Structure 1
Amino acid sequence: MPPSQTEAAPARHNTYAGGREKIMAHLAMLLFAALISGSFSLGGMIAKQVSPAPLMLMRYIVTIIAMAVIAFGFARQPFRVPEKPLRFLWLGLLLAIYMLTMFIALEFTSPVQTGAVFTLMPLVSAVFAFFILGQKTRTGVLASLLIAGAGAIWVIFHGDLDAILGFDVGRGELIFFIGVVSHALYVPLLRFLDRRDNPLVFGFWLAVGVAFWLALAAAPDLLSVDITALDWKFWAILVYIGVVTTAGTFQLLQYASMRLPASKVLGYGYLTPTSIIIFEAALGNGWTSLSVMIGAAVTACGLLVMALLPD
């Protein structure tokens, strides 16, 4: 008698992909980093039109609609309550905490400071993966992550050594660290709570879980949103971020987290500052300094070494 889905799932917790699947997982995370970076540049164009919590809720409503059409329309998956539905609420809570603490932290500190806190995420995730999944991070992988992280910090602080040495841990940094811990926990839990769900259906229910918590956070500000005052550019960017960025990154992150260790998956977040530089240049906002580009190259080299090392 074949094992049930519930019984089979734990066997995947400590197994990694090999060959082609591993390469595809790394490519998925490269695309993930590019999509996330693009959302920063595009999101900045509409962020001032709607307050943060309602804007994120609107983004996830778009994602829910898109995932429903794709999963239950085009892919013709059956619409039913998934196995252990509460897991989507817990996963959604972790993502909602991450996004909300990011915006709250920016009221007390700068994007540069929050970016520096962000570099702790792969290391924190490696700790969670050890206790939840039994994943052990090899010394070489850890060293490459530290190198990539150092390059990312150099980029975040614009190559200013005095700014790096003057880093001050205040209220904003501590608030965002809670978000970083939440997202670091999210990735190994994706693998731990896997029940062999269809990726499209999983993405739909995850978006529902995130939107539930965002609706609670956005409720006080929803009445202040004037829908009629929002132009077509706002809606175009919102649809792009909700469909391509959010729905797309759900699928990419789930795919990679089933095939790579958590520390390797989140290590690609270090590419975000570099990718933002490229996007900003493509939008005509100019290139950064040579010193910062060297830091970006160090990050890329560190991640390349990480990708080539055994899991």
Structure 2
Amino acid sequence: MRGRQQALRGHAAMLGFSAAVSGSFSLGAMVANDIAPVALTSVRFLLASAVLAVMVVLLPAAGRHGARGFTREDLRAPWRYAVLAVFYGGYFVLMFEALKTADPVQAGVIFTLTPLMTALIAVPLLGQKLLPRVAGALAIGAVGAAWVIFRGDWTAMVRFEIGFGEQLYFVGCALHAFYAPALKWLNRGESAFVTASLMTLAGFILFATYGWREIAATDWLALPGRVWLVLAYLVVFATALAGSAVQFAAQRLPASRVMAYTYGTPAWVILWELALGHGVPGAIVLPGIALIAVALLVLLRAD
């Protein structure tokens, strides 16, 4: 019974993750040309790390063994947080670079290919078994994603007619696919908030070192107000809360099922696009969206 309760908590965390991350596509596309991706990601990670550190210190059971605050054990082998930051931060840098040209809904659908890549990575890395039902659901989801990406044009699919932004974002999703298995593989008892805080701090150090010229060249005071609003959303919801949710769920669910919630992303993105008045794809993509929904339901039943 306790194991089932923990699994349900993991599912609830990933539902929140799916809703929070989806806003990144529509909002990110609005500011992708206003600020350099590395500069945005560096500041985003710095602020998110601070927010998460405050949560670790103040929230009950936010630290190791149900206590508050950081411990000396949390700081052992700090290279682990750098590795996680490369996967997580690299994904975001490529995402915002891609959104300069990629359609937000298209990007959201490409994101649904992440569970299949995650499952293929988790099998050798964690020794997790890929059940036939799970494999079938991942395959269904991949077909649905392909249908939406190529808008039902199988000729375009055979010729692999896909924009550069979408191709770049696919590489970013490959990095993200390593993130969930690596969380479980590298965890040494740290809580979700501790890992997320130290990972984002490591990400800030790495990306600020790499992109200091872009950061220095950015006229921060002249940035449009929408950039700061989007940055606030990204820090609180798409980084701090979403990162903690993945870490929380990764300790309670198989890696392929953790990332299964990315199948909900297209539906969330379409709702975001409608709310922002950007319009949505035509009815030709509906069969693909339906297949993605079937994949999510099968994966949830498989638990």
Tell me which amino acid in the other structure corresponds to 2:132.
T
The more displaced of 197-206 and 278-287 is 278-287
Q: Matches of residues 78-97 of structure 1 in structure 2 within 5 Å?
A: 78=70, 80=72, 82-97=75-90
| Contact kept? 1:125, 1:187, Cα under 8 Å | yes
| Contact kept? 1:132, 1:188, Cα under 8 Å | yes
From the superposition, tell whether residues 250 and 299 of structure 1 become closer, same or farther in structure 2 (CA, over 3 Å). same
The more displaced of 202-211 and 264-273 is 264-273
From the superposition, tell whether residues 99 and 241 of structure 1 become closer, same or farther in structure 2 (CA, over 3 Å). closer
User: In 1, Cα distance between the equivalents of 2:293 and 2:42?
Assistant: 33
Q: Matches of residues 89-128 of structure 1 in structure 2 within 5 Å?
A: 89-103=82-96, 110=102, 118-128=111-121
Match of 1:183 in 2: 176
Q: Matches of residues 246-265 of structure 1 in structure 2 within 5 Å?
A: 246-265=239-258
User: In 1, Cα distance between the equivalents of 2:13 and 2:160?
Assistant: 33
The more displaced of 233-242 and 186-195 is 233-242
**Alignment equivalent of 1:203, drawn from 196, 199, 204:** 196
User: In 1, Cα distance between the equivalents of 2:90 and 2:27?
Assistant: 22
Q: Matches of residues 266-285 of structure 1 in structure 2 within 5 Å?
A: 266-285=259-278
**TM-score, length basis structure 2:** 0.85
From the superposition, tell whether residues 217 and 159 of structure 1 become closer, same or farther in structure 2 (CA, over 3 Å). farther
Match of 2:65 in 1: none
Q: Does 1:151 align with 2:144?
A: yes
Classify the secondary structure of the residue corresponding to 1:285: coil
Q: Does 1:62 align with 2:47?
A: yes
Per-residue deviation at 1:78?
3.8
Match of 2:21 in 1: 36
Per-residue deviation at 1:276?
0.9
**Alignment equivalent of 1:138, drawn from 117, 125, 131:** 131
| Contact kept? 2:26, 2:269, Cα under 8 Å | yes
User: In 2, Cα distance between the equivalents of 1:280 and 1:67?
Assistant: 29
Tell me which amino acid in the other structure corresponds to 2:123.
F
Classify the secondary structure of the residue corresponding to 1:223: helix
From the superposition, tell whether residues 40 and 176 of structure 1 become closer, same or farther in structure 2 (CA, over 3 Å). closer
| Contact kept? 1:33, 1:272, Cα under 8 Å | yes
From the superposition, tell whether residues 275 and 156 of structure 1 become closer, same or farther in structure 2 (CA, over 3 Å). farther
Per-residue deviation at 1:173?
7.1
- Identity rate of aligned residues, in percent? 37
Report how many residues are paired. Answer: 293
**Alignment equivalent of 1:26, drawn from 5, 8, 11:** 11
Match of 2:211 in 1: 218
Classify the secondary structure of the residue corresponding to 1:197: coil
| Contact kept? 2:106, 2:148, Cα under 8 Å | no
Per-residue deviation at 1:170?
9.2
The more displaced of 297-306 and 22-31 is 22-31
Per-residue deviation at 1:160?
3.5
From the superposition, tell whether residues 127 and 20 of structure 1 become closer, same or farther in structure 2 (CA, over 3 Å). same
The more displaced of 247-256 and 81-90 is 81-90
User: In 2, Cα distance between the equivalents of 1:99 and 1:270?
Assistant: 18
User: In 2, Cα distance between the equivalents of 1:145 and 1:89?
Assistant: 29
Per-residue deviation at 1:88?
0.5
Tell me which amino acid in the other structure corresponds to 2:196.
G
**Structure 1 portions without partners, runs of 5+:** 1-16
Per-residue deviation at 1:120?
4.3
From the superposition, tell whether residues 44 and 305 of structure 1 become closer, same or farther in structure 2 (CA, over 3 Å). same
**Structure 2 portions without partners, runs of 5+:** 61-67
User: In 2, Cα distance between the equivalents of 1:162 and 1:43?
Assistant: 30
**Alignment equivalent of 2:296, drawn from 284, 297, 303:** 303
RMSD of equivalent CA atoms:
2.8
Per-residue deviation at 1:23?
2.3
**TM-score, length basis structure 1:** 0.83
Match of 2:157 in 1: 164
Q: Does 1:77 align with 2:69?
A: yes
Match of 1:8 in 2: none
User: In 1, Cα distance between the equivalents of 2:106 and 2:272?
Assistant: 21
Tell me which amino acid in the other structure corresponds to 2:77.
K
